[in-house]
Amino acid sequence: MIAFGPVPSRRLGRSLGVNNIPDKVCSYACVYCQIGKTIKMQVERQEFYDPNKIFEEVERKVREATERGERIDYVTFVPDGEPTLDINLGKEAGLLKDLGIKLAILTNSSLVWREDVRDDLQNFDLISLKLDAVTEKIWRRVDRPHKSLKLEKILEGMLILRDEFQGKLITETMLININYGNELERIADFLRELKPDKAYIAIPTRPPAEKWVKPASEEVIHLAYQLFAEAIGSEKVEYLIGYEGNAFAFTGNVEEDLLSITAVHPMREDAVKELLRKANASWDVVEKLIREGKLIELEYNGVKFYMRRLKSRV
């Protein structure tokens, strides 16, 4: 199936997916991949589907969704492999622009060092770049790239793309159960230079390609949040850890509100107290959620923060 959805997306609202790569042709073999092991590793671009066929399938899906009264915020290239391996990507995006819906693409960043790839990406309104590592050792362990790829060239390509691209550029960093050493500080330094519109911190929420892979600890995730926030501003950093629904929807239920917000942003102690005050609730609510294992308390630079315990770690 080339077109699917629309599906709810934390990053993109209501997203209609475009699967422009067969399962599973990729330039990486990420240990955490939810699609599974890479079947065909490659870095050369090629044609996979007729661009007109992709347009027709997406157009049909858009028409069906519109007839049902469903909103579509983005048409998103999020395939079973790396979307920039498609040599017709620019042409397909050009055709889809005629639908009058914003276009997004989720890429592993591996080919952004190529000028032709960056040219194709100019057709999109939003680009999500994978940024799991900025040092060779962690990159090779987590993303397991094609042997011909060079991390230095990829990072340089990301910075060039940032300068060229007029749309919204976001990053996604997947954190797993390895020793990161000072890697998170280095990623934060790179984010400071890249200046993305938003930096997402993700964890595996579905069965990964390798059985040993688990989410990073809450402490590591929280440290990444603080370091990234210091680099580019806390309003630009969010968790992407698989919780359903609108993280900031007002429910009138202080427990639900607290768990929803802390699933996306850790809350400072004073912010939690302010939320409780507005809800006419006491600190007992926090203590109860901690006892039930739904909320955890962490400290950073002498300040207490509260964060939803990850479902996948309970």
Select from 269, 270, 261, 184 the least CA-distant residue to 229: 184
pLDDT at position 244: 42
Select from 50, 59, 69 the least CA-distant residue to 16: 59
**Helix or strand (DSSP H, E) at 184:** helix 183-194
Q: How far, in Å, CA of 313 to CA of 96, rounded? A: 40
Q: How far, in Å, CA of 268 to CA of 299, rounded? A: 9
Q: How far, in Å, CA of 252 to CA of 149, rounded? A: 51
Per the domain annotation, does 295 fall within a domain?
no
Instruction: Name the least confident of 12-26, 82-96, 190-204.
Output: 12-26
> What CATH number has the domain bearing residue 155?
3.20.20.70
Do 209 and 174 contact (CB within 8 A), yes or no?
no
pLDDT at position 312: 47
Per the domain annotation, does 300 fall within a domain?
no
Model-level pTM?
0.84
Per the domain annotation, does 151 fall within a domain?
yes
Per the domain annotation, does 178 fall within a domain?
yes
Per the domain annotation, does 278 fall within a domain?
no
Question: Could you report the per-residue pLDDT of 41-97, keeping only the tens digit for each?
Answer: 999 999 999 999 999 999 998 998 888 888 899 999 988 899 999 999 999 999 999
- DSSP-assigned letter for residue 84: G
* CB-CB neighbours of 164 under 10 Å: 12
Number of structural domains (the chain) is 1
3-class DSSP state of 281? coil
Report which of residues 84 and 242 the model is more confident about. 84
Question: Could you report the per-residue pLDDT of 150-181, keeping only the tens digit for each?
Answer: 999 999 999 999 999 999 999 999 999 999 99
Alpha helices in 195-282 (DSSP H): 218-232, 254-262, 269-278
Per the domain annotation, does 18 fall within a domain?
yes
pLDDT at position 265: 65
pLDDT at position 250: 44
Per the domain annotation, does 27 fall within a domain?
yes
Per the domain annotation, does 302 fall within a domain?
no
Q: State the residue range of the domain holding 229.
A: 3-242
